[in-house]
Amino acid sequence: MKAKARFIVGDARKIDEMFKPGEFDAVIFYWTTLIGFYDEETDKQILLACRRVVKDHGKLFILKHASREIALVKYET
């Protein structure tokens, strides 16, 4: 079995502009690329966009996330 992976770097807020519905088997977010980086409404819109770009029964993986509170305290300037 051959595995194919496509790694894309971009602005998560523009997922709908970058990809067509059902284009992916899975979407993977790593570290604070999503949760805790934007406000709650933006996070919600990104998650809804992810749902649209994965195939039916597709997967969304959020790995090693930090809460907004931890990110603010840890990286506050």
Q: Strands (DSSP E) along the chain, which ranges?
A: 24-30, 54-63
Q: Tell me the pTM.
A: 0.67
Q: What is the pLDDT along the chain (77 residues), one digit of tens a residue?
A: 677 777 788 888 999 899 999 999 988 877 666 666 788 898 889 889 999 999 999 998 887 656 666 666 655 54
Neighbours of 3 (CB within 10 A): 4
Instruction: Return all residues near 38 (Cβ < 8 A) that are at least 6 apart.
Output: 12, 13, 46
Instruction: Return all residues near 53 (Cβ < 8 A) that are at least 6 apart.
Output: 15, 16, 19, 20, 21, 22, 23, 24, 27
